[in-house]
Structure 1
């Protein structure tokens, strides 16, 4: 296995982070699917205000991912 690009992972996080693309890139498919579901569910229901609950969880998780991305790239699955 080769090391993934940290720069590319951060770009994916910045542009497509709310659908978990950076996690798919680093091989974390299960958590990528979870972020994808949180993002889709949150944005689909935000108009009735309930969507802000999954979006808040997702945004907190994305903030934590800022610090986890280098490790995810060094140890891809």
Structure 2
């Protein structure tokens, strides 16, 4: 599975090798998350990649609305907010990816 969001649970009676292949196919990389943050951070691509769909949608909406409102100068406040959020996310990305990968491992234990 290569989409975003929660992973479906494993097939009942899955062998350890199959569970490991399921984990390897669905795990996320910190390096990829940082690349997405650097190039597409204004569009919250790193948050979607890390499975943070709700906050990613909020960040995307604020970013798009702010870009649209820059013509009347009020949008720069929103862009400043997003810029600060991106700076904080630079430190949070390893934890977000670790949590996503841990959730995959937890789903395999069911």
TM-score by length of 1: 0.93
- Could you say which structure has the larger radius of gyration? 2
- Note the residue ranges of structure 1 that are not aligned, 5 or more in a row: none
Give secondary structure in 1 for the equivalent of 2:28.
coil
- Note the residue ranges of structure 2 that are not aligned, 5 or more in a row: 1-22, 104-110
**How many residues of Structure 1 are paired with residues of Structure 2 in the alignment?**
77
Tell me which stretches of 4 or more aligned residues in structure 1 moved more than 3 Å.
Answer: none
Greater share of helix: 1
CA shift for structure 1 position 3: 3.7
- Partner residue, 1:11: 35
- Partner residue, 2:58: 34
TM-score by length of 2: 0.66
- Partner residue, 1:46: 70
1:14-69 Cα deviation digits (max 9, x unpaired): 11100111000000000000110111011111111010111111110000000000
- Partner residue, 2:95: 71
Give secondary structure in 2 for the equivalent of 1:4.
coil
- Partner residue, 1:24: 48
